[in-house]
Amino acid sequence: MKRIAIEESLSDIRSALQEKGYELVTMKTQEDANDCECCIISGQDRNMMGVMDTVTQGTVIDAHGRTADEVCQEVESRFS
């Protein structure tokens, strides 16, 4: 199963992805995303300084303003 890094504050999305059987890693630092195929961020502190550094080769999904179902659908579409 695919490994997904997810921010700690996204508990509803975490629960939905766990129900679908995904392996989840809590993303507390950028290094937590290194071995993951996908990262899910809250978008709250996105690009604060106008500089965006990519720390993973995987897909980054911004969950800001989206439901858990919407995020799960995007994850599934990326892996199919």
CB 9 within 8 A of CB 15: no
For residue 13, the model assigns a pLDDT of 96
The mean per-residue pLDDT over the stretch 52-76 comes to 83
Instruction: Locate the domains of the chain by residue range.
Output: 3-79
pLDDT score, position 5: 92
In the DSSP assignment, the letter for residue 59 is: E
Q: Is the model's pTM score more than 0.85?
A: no
More reliable by pLDDT, 57 or 11: 11
**pLDDT of 19 over the 70 cut:** yes
What CA–CA distance (Å, rounded) separates 78 from 49? 28
69/32 Cα distance (integer angstroms): 24
Mind listing the pLDDT tens digit for each residue in 28-60? 877 778 888 899 998 875 554 444 445 556 788
